[in-house]
Amino acid sequence: MSQVDPVGDGEITVTERTPLIGNSDASEAPETPTSAWKPGHSSSSTVASVASDSITEPTANKPGAVVGLILLIIFVASAAGAFQQVPQTRIFEDVLCREYYNRTAGSGEPIDEVHCKVNEIQSKLAYLLAILEALNAGLSCLVALFWGIVADRIGRKPVFAVSSVGLNLNLLLIIAVGWFSDVLPTRLVWIASIGHLCGGQPVMSACIHSILSDVVPESRRSVTFMRLHVTSLVGNFISPALASAMMSSTGPWPVMALTLVLYVTATAMIALLPETVHQPLHPEESESQSTTSGARVLQGFSHLKDLLSFVRSRSLALILPIFLLSMPVLVCTFQFMLQFTSKRYGIPLAQTGYILSVYGIAHIVVVLIIIPTVSNLIVRPSLPRWLRITDENVRDLTLVRWSFVAYLAGTIILGLSPTLAVFLAGLIVMSFGSAASAILKSIAASHVDYQHRSRLFTLVALLEMASSVWATPALAALFTLGMRLGGEWIGLPYFGVSVTCFAMLVLALFIRVPTVGYDDEES
């Protein structure tokens, strides 16, 4: 996988003890390759709380320690995912490059990267990585329901750990195919997606939010989720610059090794987390709750069928397709952007991580400073009437619409940009749309009652995963077509993304928000 964002970017409003696969009628519990880089190679909760009652180990009764540990896990895992992007792209570019020249020139010598930018190699690389990402997302989507049922049955912590182990397996298989590329077919890298049968990012995100919902009071939950998002951003967007700095002197393989170390470290830290799922204290209670595996699966699919039952308003019906269109604008600014800028502007892949970090810094500034400042400013009574927005829901809808305008303008600039400087300017423009997803989820929550919000966000997560399945192959196809057409058409992938941004903007123009008389205790 190329990007780890285990917390998502929205503030998910859930009740405490919320199951990963929520039930609308459930009662709430009370709070509580061979290459030149290869050297030398041509419990009940009561008992648990007593047993872990120490200063050094977090427990469910110490929410501050639990939150701190989860923030650390998220930072390490996000940094690992970001470290992986640049070296993985360069490793498989080199593999495909050697295959290409061995076939045409019969030379097995190391090939300079500048000779690997021919269209055929870049097209194969784009499809290779795009299909890998699509398989990752597709398998995660297929097993999300199953792991949600398991997590509700045996606990968040073991499912969280299994999902993290799956990411380690995914990376190990990618490394194995790249290292032994002289004997293994390159497309065998797609088998690495089996690691996502362990849950992948969606299940990890659900576990993280559920654990925090169990231990953090509702009054502090929104702030805690924002901290998760910011921590993930810092890990995701600062690490590519460090990866580029390392690759310039060490090549890609030491960076991949560091990525594996970081993933293993994050997985090991999960062992320090407490289990937060309420376990029955008496055997008869446990027996009354036990059901067969078949019954639990049927119950899960029944819930999945029921997910759409609350979509009654026209506005909510317009919001959900936006999430189905949302991933291209995210994917085009991560691994794909590294390959695109290297091809279009002749930049070594080892230096493209700096570009991603520039976008990341702009993204963080927008989310932490600009959006909160604007949000507070436009509701002030001292503002002129024509600038002031008195209703917070209307304010959020206005910000979402302007965010899509920023995405649309930014992607058009990226597609047209003749120089790297103009491309960076387009990224900065795009960064002004960074908060769109989080705000849109808040608007969606305002259209459903409190009891159905868990189901709403389950549906949103499934739509975003489905969007990931088609987004990466579509970008690869447009990239291949753009290279074939030549000239300025190489920016075709970003023109394609701008079409999805325009579609999201049009849908947002028809969305309405509840205003007078809506009582939202989570506002």
How far, CA to CA in Å, does 32 sit from each of 160, 215, 454?
Answer: 21, 6, 19
- Assess whether pLDDT exceeds 80 at residue 193: yes
- Assess whether pLDDT exceeds 80 at residue 130: yes
What pLDDT was estimated at residue 255?
93
- Beta-strand ranges (E) seen in 88-246 are none
d(CA 375, CA 368): 11
Helix (H) or strand (E) holding 27: none
Q: Which of 26-30, 240-244, 254-258 has the lowest mean pLDDT?
A: 26-30
How far, CA to CA in Å, does 234 sit from each of 80, 93, 290, 328?
Answer: 12, 27, 42, 21
Mean pLDDT within 119-129: 94
Place of tokens 């507070």: 376
pLDDT, tens digit, 9 for 90 and up, residues 357-371: 888 888 888 888 888
What pLDDT was estimated at residue 454?
60
317 burial (CB, 10 Å; 0-12 / 13-18 / 19+) is middle
Closest to 5 in 3D by CA, of 493, 464, 501, 497:
464
Phi, psi of 335 (to 5 degrees): -60, -40
Residue 225 carries which side chain, given as an amino acid letter?
Answer: F
- Assess whether pLDDT exceeds 70 at residue 298: no
pLDDT band per the 50, 70, 90 thresholds, residue 91:
very high
d(CA 279, CA 298): 23
Other C-beta atoms closer than 10 Å to the C-beta of 16 total 20
User: What is the total residue count of the chain?
Assistant: 523
pLDDT, tens digit, 9 for 90 and up, residues 458-517: 678 778 888 888 999 999 999 999 999 988 899 999 999 999 999 999 999 999 887 643
How far, CA to CA in Å, does 288 sit from each of 15, 283, 300?
Answer: 24, 9, 18
- Assess whether pLDDT exceeds 80 at residue 124: yes
What pLDDT was estimated at residue 233?
79
d(CA 216, CA 206): 15
What pLDDT was estimated at residue 58?
54
What pLDDT was estimated at residue 43?
38
- Assess whether pLDDT exceeds 50 at residue 289: no
What pLDDT was estimated at residue 44?
36
CB 166 within 8 A of CB 266: no
Other C-beta atoms closer than 10 Å to the C-beta of 218 total 14
Q: List CB contacts of 47: < 8 A, sequence separation 6 or more.
A: none
Report the chain's mean pLDDT, rounded to a whole number: 79
Q: Look up the pTM and report it.
A: 0.75
Mean pLDDT within 431-452: 80
What pLDDT was estimated at residue 25?
42
What pLDDT was estimated at residue 419?
94
pLDDT band per the 50, 70, 90 thresholds, residue 443:
confident
Q: DSSP code of 28?
A: P
Closest to 319 in 3D by CA, of 497, 459, 451:
459
CB 513 within 8 A of CB 445: no
Phi, psi of 70 (to 5 degrees): -65, -40
pLDDT band per the 50, 70, 90 thresholds, residue 194:
very high
Mean pLDDT within 424-443: 88
- Assess whether pLDDT exceeds 60 at residue 11: no
Q: DSSP per residue over 231-275, as a string?
A: HHHHHHHHHHHHHHHHHHHH-HHHHHHHHHHHHHHHHHHGGGSPP
Give the helix ranges, DSSP H, for 366-452: 371-377, 392-416, 420-431, 436-445
Closest to 505 in 3D by CA, of 416, 409, 420:
409
- Assess whether pLDDT exceeds 50 at residue 329: yes
What pLDDT was estimated at residue 448?
77
Dihedral of the alpha carbons of 336, 342, 343, 345, in degrees to the nearest 10 = 130
